Chain A
Amino acid sequence: MSEPLLQVAGLSTQFHTQAGVVKAVSDVSFSLERGQILGLVGESGSGKSVTGFSLLGLVDPPGRIAEGSIRFDGQELVGMPQPDLRALRGKRIAMVFQDPMMTLNPVLSVGTQMTLAVRAHDKVSKQMARDRAVEALTRVGIPDAGHRLDAYPHQFSGGMRQRVAIAIAMIHSPDIIIADEPTTALDVSIQAQILHEMRELAKDSGTALIWISHDLATVSSLAERLLVMYAGTIVEEGPTARVLRNPRHPYTRGLLDSLPATAPPGQNLQQIPGSMPSLLALPPGCAFAPRCSFASEVCNGDVPYLVTGPSAFRCHHPIGEAK
């Protein structure tokens, strides 16, 4: 078997702050194949964005990658000089953010920004760059793209702006797009359009997608594999439908049970008590132990190791495997 497109092993990213060391990402490992869609879910502050930034070499001081390896198409990204990383970013690995204005410049027309994006990596004529911009905008479903090149970002709706940001990410047909909650701020009707388009784009262009979200349902309609993150670590990983059907980790189970759709209307929902621990002072054993109804002595003392199988999980008392 050949090497996967992306192989992350033992990645730890930390922020050295006055209050102490924030362990934002701890010992994260996963791999991504060409054209695959990977979902990364977890609650706020669990380390999803920092994981994404780490892959792109975008962690700024006081943050740093403390440990681990990120192999992308045969090259090691950890420790790679910034100019080399810059040559990859946007060209072979691109990112889409929750707020499209992190990508878009408010004072430049959409056409200008897109031609700049093309010419940052490909030495082509301005006209050719414009043609590619029109093509990219058309692909993400912006009608009459040729006429909208001269418009400025504020002249687009939120959903349209996010499409422009996606078009920019797609412009070099990258190997990987990291999409960090790209539809969270959008309405459901617009979200459904964008999910649909992203799936088609990934299929047509062979681009692999890391889809970061806190919404299990969205991810389940898109991703083949699922990573569940809690307090900086991957607590469960596997084929999406399998993990959701038969979660082995109590946290994954708890997330599923908290969804309003799982209880009859008006009845109490299952709830996970408490909240995520501070990443400055993680408990010594399993980080989920203080909230876990299965927790025992060993959970409070020892960090659970990764158990691999059809789905992989880190738990001393996993939920049984369904037949």
Chain B
Amino acid sequence: MSETFLSLDAIIKRFSPSLSVGDQIAARLGAKVETRSVHAVDDVSLSILRGETLGLVGESGCGKSTLGRIAAGILPATSGTASLGGEAVMINGRKTTTEVQTVFQDPFASLDPRMPIGDIIAEGPITHNLITRSDAKSYVGGWLERVGLDAGFAERYPHQFSGGQRQRVAIARALAMQPQLLICDEPVASLDVSIQAQIINLFLKLRRELQITCLFISHDLSVVRHVSDRVAIMYLGRIVEIGETETVYSSPSHPYTRALLDSVPKLVLEDDALVELRPIVGEIPSPLDPPAGCSFNPRCPMARDRCIKEEPQLRAMGTGQQTACHFSD
């Protein structure tokens, strides 16, 4: 059991603005052209054990998808390495393995509208010699049934399906590659609750059957709580807290995690209960110019001098998780 499967080691990702020649000249002449780079992922190290699901949560732009794409071997890191069972997932800008596959948020954008879904699912396995062309039909049919669709749907095109069905197709396509690690980037974010529940149940079932390892990215705290063994909270390119899901949710130790959990609206079942909303003050700072010290300091109710000067590192808390805050315990 508990052996490390995916390992992310000191991952840094910067996006530099792609300036036109004109912009470059203008910038040199002192015009206001954005020349700073985006600090999308800032020194992240973490590991996922074999068979485990790690949830990754955080607000828009904090770097979840960027980290997920680096782990999937489809985006090069600026520095640091992502490795699967000890082997780097990307070498010289090329993905080295089929063992990691991704399911994205928008099933419509990620499926080629001109291809019947049977071909969409069979394409990868045939290219990588997992199956032969003559096996394709029964192979695809098997996967369609596994994700709760009719094997006869293979001839249909993506637009003939509802959003939830398209997400099932996207899951079948990823799993047909027989990956060991599945990266799900907001797989239910665009779905209605009733359909979301169907897809979450499908995910739980397949995870049980295939014993697959998973990185589950979402901004929805309740979805992540439901599916993850451990959870990592990301803020402005960094992991600020990571630990067993129940520990983090029931005794969050980073002020950002606490504030985030407080901001989530809860179902109010009492008459005339005027729920107190406790919003986090201020907005997320620009990743072009992250604050010095702890990146949460401009919004943090606990911030003191040290938080502005010194960047906190992840360290073990009494409750078991790891937290990057000078003053948490």
Contact = CB atoms under 8 A, between A and B. Distances in A.
Interface of A: 43-44, 157-160, 187-193, 195-196, 199, 214-218, 220-221, 239-242, 244-245, 254-256, 258-261, 263, 265-266, 268-273, 275
B265 A218 contact: yes
A275 B197 CA distance: 12
A261 B249 CA distance: 12
9 closest A-B pairs by CB:
A192-B279, A43-B192, A258-B197, A187-B59, A193-B279, A260-B226, A192-B263, A189-B280, A271-B197
B266 A196 contact: no
Contacts of A159: 283
Interface string B268-284: 11111101011111011
A19 B113 CA distance: 21
A195 B59 CA distance: 17
A187 B226 contact: no
Given A218-B265, A259-B193, A271 B283 contact: no
A317 B265 CA distance: 31
Contacts of B265: 191-192, 195, 215, 217-218, 220-221
A199 B281 CA distance: 17
A263 B267 contact: no
9 contacts: A44-B192, A189-B284, A192-B263, A195-B279, A217-B264, A241-B269, A241-B271, A244-B267, A260-B222
Interface string B54-79: 00000110000000000000000000
Nearest to B256: A189
Interface in B226-272: 226-227, 245-246, 259-260, 262-272
B271 A242 contact: yes
Contact of B226 (A160, A190, A265, A272): A265
Interface stretch (B21-29, B135-143, B198-206): B198-206
Contacts of A188: 59, 219, 221, 260, 263-264
B263 A189 contact: yes
Q: Is the interface of A mostly helix, strand, loop or mixed?
A: helix
Interface of B: 59-60, 162-165, 192-198, 200-201, 204-205, 219-223, 225-227, 245-246, 259-260, 262-273, 275, 277-281, 283-284
B277 A192 contact: yes
A216 B265 CA distance: 9
Contacts, number: 135
A241 B195 contact: no
A266 B245 CA distance: 11
B218 to A, nearest CB: 10
A232 B233 CA distance: 39
A261 B222 contact: yes
A191 B275 contact: no
A187 B197 contact: no
A275 B200 contact: no
B288 to A, nearest CB: 13
B270 A258 contact: no
A254 B193 CA distance: 10
A189 B268 contact: no
B197 A269 contact: yes
Nearest to A272: B194
A34 B140 CA distance: 58
B264 A260 contact: no
B59 A220 contact: no
Contacts of A259: 193, 197, 222, 267
A239 B273 CA distance: 12
A189 B59 contact: yes
Nearest to B193: A258
Nearest to A43: B192
Nearest to B53: A266
Contacts of B194: 43, 254-255, 258, 271-272, 275
A260 B200 contact: yes
A172 to B, nearest CB: 26
A323 to B, nearest CB: 15
Given A187-B60, A187-B219, A192-B280, A268 B201 contact: yes
Contacts of B245: 265
A270 B197 contact: yes
B192 A196 contact: no
A256 B267 CA distance: 9
B272 to A, nearest CB: 8
Given A157-B283, A189-B59, A255-B193, A241 B278 contact: no
A255 B196 CA distance: 11
Most interface-central of B165, B245, B246, B271 (chain A CB within 10 A)? B271
Contacts of A275: 162, 164-165, 194-195
